[in-house]
Amino acid sequence: MARRGATAPWPRNAVGAGRWPGGRRKNTVIDTPRYLDPLAVYRVVDTPVMVLTRPLPEGTRSYSLGVHPKAYGRVDLRPLFARLAAVEPGWGGRATVGGSPIKGGSRLDLPTLIRHLQEFLGGH
C-alpha cells in the first residue's frame, strides 16, 4: 500500500486510479494520459497485479500489465495473455509483464479487460 503523503510517480491528472477484487486479492488500475514507468509505480503501489492504461491517438488503448516483484512466483500472466490473444491477436508477454498489441494498441475497453483479469485471478 502507498504511504500516506507519499508522492506518486504518476501525473496529477491521472484518472481512474482504483482497485478491484481479483480473487481474494486487490489489484491496481491506473488510467493516465501519458506513459508511466511501472518500476517507479511499484515503489508506492503494493498490490499483486497492476494495470497501466492510456489512450492512443487511433482511439485504441495501450495496456501494460505487471506482477509486483513481491508476487513473482505466485502469479504467471502468460495464460491471461494467451486468453486475451484469442480475443484480440497481438497480446503477449512474459510471466511477470506484458500487454496489449504494440502496433495499434487494443480495442478492448477497460471493463472488458478487468473482467478477463478477474476471471483469471479467480483461479489463483
pLDDT tens-place string over residues 27-40:
888 888 888 887 78
pLDDT tens for residues 49-105? Answer: 999 999 999 999 999 999 998 889 899 999 999 999 999 999 999 999 999 999 999
CB atoms within 10 A of CB 114: 17
Is the residue at 8 inside a domain? no
* Residue range of the domain that includes 91: 15-121
Distances in Å between the alpha carbon of 124 and those of 20, 38, 40, 51, 101? Answer: 15, 22, 26, 17, 25
In this structure, is residue 5 part of a structural domain?
A: no
In a domain, 27, yes or no: yes
User: Is residue 1 domain-resident?
Assistant: no
- Count structural domains, the chain: 1
Residue 24 lies in a domain: yes
Helix axes 110-121, 78-87, angle to 10 degrees: 140
6 is a domain residue = no
Identify whether the C-beta of residue 51 lies closer than 8 Å to the C-beta of residue 113: yes
The answer to whether residue 22 is domain-embedded is yes
Give the CA radius of gyration of the chain: 14
Dist CA 1 CA 68 (whole Å): 12
Residue 2 lies in a domain: no
The grid cell for 3 is 504511504
The CATH number of residue 114's host domain is 3.10.310.40
pTM of model > 0.85:
no
